[in-house]
Each structure stands twice: as C-alpha cells, then as structure tokens.
Structure 1
Amino acid sequence: MRVLQWMDELELAVCQQFNHYNRRRAISRFFGAVSRLGDGVLWYALMLALPVIHGPEAAWVSLQMAVVGLASLPVYKWLKRRTSRRRPCHRDRPFARTVAPLDEFSFPSGHTMHAVGFSVILVAWLPVWGWLVVPFALLVAASRLVLALHYPSDVAMGALIGASMAAAVLGVVSLF
C-alpha cells in the first residue's frame, strides 16, 4: 500500500529515536520483559484471578475482556494480511534488535490493541485496577516502539481498535 510506504519513511526517524534507548542493557531488558508480559501472560492470568480476588461477579468482567480479545483478533489479522507492512526492525536501518517479533508484519500492534482493550473493560468495571493497568498498557505501547517492532501509527491503530472494541462491548452490555 502506497500510503503505508509513505508513512514508513516519515515514521522511521521516530522509530530510530525510540530505539536509541534500546541500546542500554537495563532499558532493553525492562522493555523486553514488558513486551513478553504483554504477549498475553499477564492479561490471561489477571482474567483468571479477577473472580478469585473480587468474587464470582468479577467473572463477568473477565468474560468481557475475553470477548474484546476475541472480537479484536479478526480485525487485527485482516489488517496484518491486507497491509503486509514490514516491521521497522526488518528495514535496512541500524536498529538495536533485542526481541524477536511474534510474526512478520507490523500493522497494527496487537500487543497495544489487547492492552488498551483489556484495560478499558477492567477500569470501566473495577476502577481500582486503573493505577496498575493503565501505566502497564502505556509501557506495552512504548515497548513496541523502543524494541523497533512497530511504527507509531501501528501502535496508534492498535490502541484505537482495542478502545473501540471495548467501547462496543460495554455498549452492548449496557443494553441489558
């Protein structure tokens, strides 16, 4: 897609600025760990733990989080296949690459999509979790840039999809 190729060139400089921090071992390890937790490990564990922590009624929150994740996936996969956007770390630029991507293409960021979608649902029902999941979602988004796995527009689109899916689920739930 011509638009993404044009955007790639505009965004590569921003990607390089973020990735500059990845050359520091402590930062690289930190964002590598955040990225790994953002693969789903933390979210799935949290979905299982919510009913234990908050009682059986919190299973409804976990279910909505799962629905957001499942509903977002087809959109995510369709966009990945449709755009076939190469990741910044796969470009012919000197990126510090410390974490292997989970798949070949970058648009949109699935990590960010899930982090935002899950956070919106969780905070809507259990605001006490906001102090933890909102900063974590922001760190997940930042990790995608620091690790040169995504362009800023990948992260923005992932956040938009996640927030939109969460809003749709909350809207449907409010009807009942």
Structure 2
Amino acid sequence: MPSPSKASRFFELADQREFAFCQSINRSVRFRPVLDYFRVVSRLGDGWLWYALILSLPLLSPDQGPGLALLMAITGLTCTLSYKLLKKHLIRERPFISFPSINCATPPLDRYSFPSGHTLHAMCFQIMLAMTEPTLALVILPFTLSVAASRVVLGLHYPSDVAAGAVIGGLIGGLSVTLFHGTALAMLAG
C-alpha cells in the first residue's frame, strides 16, 4: 500500500478539526424550508444562474456587457479547469463520505471536496462584477454568500474548502478583469 501523500495527511488532520463544526451546521439546518432554500441555491450555483447572467449582460449593460459576458465565459472555463485539476491532485473526500453522521442533502457533482467549485465560480464572478458593474454586484452578493454557505449546510464541503474556493475564485476573477477586460471590450468594439 503506498504511503499517504503530504496533502492527504494534511487533509486528514484538517478533516478531524473541521468535523464538529460541519456536523453542527449540518444538524442545525434541518428545517425543511431552509434546507430547500439551500438546495435551490446549490442547483442554481451549478451554473444556471451564471449562464443566465452572462447571457443577460449585453442587455443589462449595452456598452460593456458584451465584453464582460465574453470575459466571464472564458474566465468561468478557467475556473472549471482550475478546480478540477486541484481536486484531481489533492484528493480530499467530502465530509459526508468521511463522516457518515453528516447528512448529504443533495448529490454532489463530483467526488472530491477541495476546493469548492461552486464557491470558486461564485466568488470569481462576484469580484468580476464588483470591478465592472458594482450595482449589479450588490444585487448578486446575497446569492454568492448563499452559495458559499450552502456547501457546508448541505454536507458537501468543509469550511476550508469554501474559504479556498473563495480565495482562488477571487484571485482568478480579479486577475481576469485587471489583465483582460480592456482587451475583451476592444475585441468586440472593433
């Protein structure tokens, strides 16, 4: 049997430290309407809300909306590749797999937990909007925060998965706007 990697040993320790917190959140939110809310948020966070937002940006902001929509679509693909590579190499089991006392309230999209892809995308798009369309960013903020919370509430992620997803997504979104927003606008303008 191969020896465990440094990442797997780290995650085993982190899992033990985060278990009680995850379990308490998971157990405290068993009120059906609240659980249903987080299930809907999670489903919309699968991409549906972001796809609708990207498609509506040219209508909401005719000047910079088309460029921002293009940039968000490309950046979203970058986010997907990033979190899939990280999950493949870091291999952290989801809380409900490691600890059967944690209830999985909705089926996960993939096997592993670190980082939270939902949170990564949500924070990426939140930062992109904050830098380009601040009023729209304020409208979207409650959804972004709900997506992040849903990951722990539904038993799918540890808080550190959510925090890592937020940091990585925020960095990708910020870099994308800083480096490529002007280029995307110029490409569509001329």
TM-score normalised per structure 1? 0.94
Identify the residue that residue 122 of structure 2 maps to in structure 1. Answer: 115
Question: Shift of the alpha carbon at 1:29?
Answer: 0.3
Q: How far, CA to CA, are the matches of 2:20 and 2:156 in structure 1? A: 14
Residues 126-148 of structure 1 deviation map (CA, whole Å, 9 limit, x = unaligned)? 11112221121111000000001
Question: Shift of the alpha carbon at 1:92?
Answer: 3.2
Question: Shift of the alpha carbon at 1:163?
Answer: 0.5
Paired residues of 2:96 and 2:104 also in contact (CA < 8 A): yes
Paired residues of 2:93 and 2:111 also in contact (CA < 8 A): yes
* 3-state SS, counterpart of residue 23 of structure 1: coil
Runs of 4+ in 1 over 4 A off after TM superposition: none
Identify the residue that residue 28 of structure 1 maps to in structure 2. Answer: 35
Paired residues of 2:42 and 2:151 also in contact (CA < 8 A): yes
Paired residues of 1:87 and 1:104 also in contact (CA < 8 A): yes
Paired residues of 1:64 and 1:121 also in contact (CA < 8 A): no
Identify the residue that residue 44 of structure 1 maps to in structure 2. Answer: 51
Q: How far, CA to CA, are the matches of 2:56 and 2:181 in structure 1? A: 24
Q: How far, CA to CA, are the matches of 2:63 and 2:49 in structure 1? A: 20
Higher CA-based Rg: 2
Q: How far, CA to CA, are the matches of 2:165 and 2:74 in structure 1? A: 16
Q: How far, CA to CA, are the matches of 1:58 and 1:153 in structure 2? A: 33
Identify the residue that residue 163 of structure 1 maps to in structure 2. Answer: 170
Q: How do 1:52-63 and structure 2 match up within 5 A?
A: 52-55=59-62, 57-63=64-70
Residues 105-134 of structure 1 deviation map (CA, whole Å, 9 limit, x = unaligned)? 111100000000011111211111122211
CA-based RMSD of the aligned residues comes to 1.5
Question: Shift of the alpha carbon at 1:22?
Answer: 3.1
Identify the residue that residue 111 of structure 2 maps to in structure 1. Answer: 104
Identity %: 42
* 3-state SS, counterpart of residue 155 of structure 2: coil
TM-score normalised per structure 2? 0.87
Identify the residue that residue 84 of structure 1 maps to in structure 2. Answer: 91
Q: How far, CA to CA, are the matches of 1:92 and 1:114 in structure 2? A: 26
5+ residue gaps, structure 1, are none
Is 2:135 aligned against 1:136? no
Q: How far, CA to CA, are the matches of 1:123 and 1:92 in structure 2? A: 37
Residues 23-71 of structure 1 deviation map (CA, whole Å, 9 limit, x = unaligned)? 1111110100010010000000010011112215311111121122112
The AA in structure 1 aligned to 2:77 is: L
Q: How far, CA to CA, are the matches of 1:130 and 1:75 in structure 2? A: 23
The AA in structure 2 aligned to 1:103 is: D
The AA in structure 2 aligned to 1:23 is: R
Question: Shift of the alpha carbon at 1:159?
Answer: 0.6
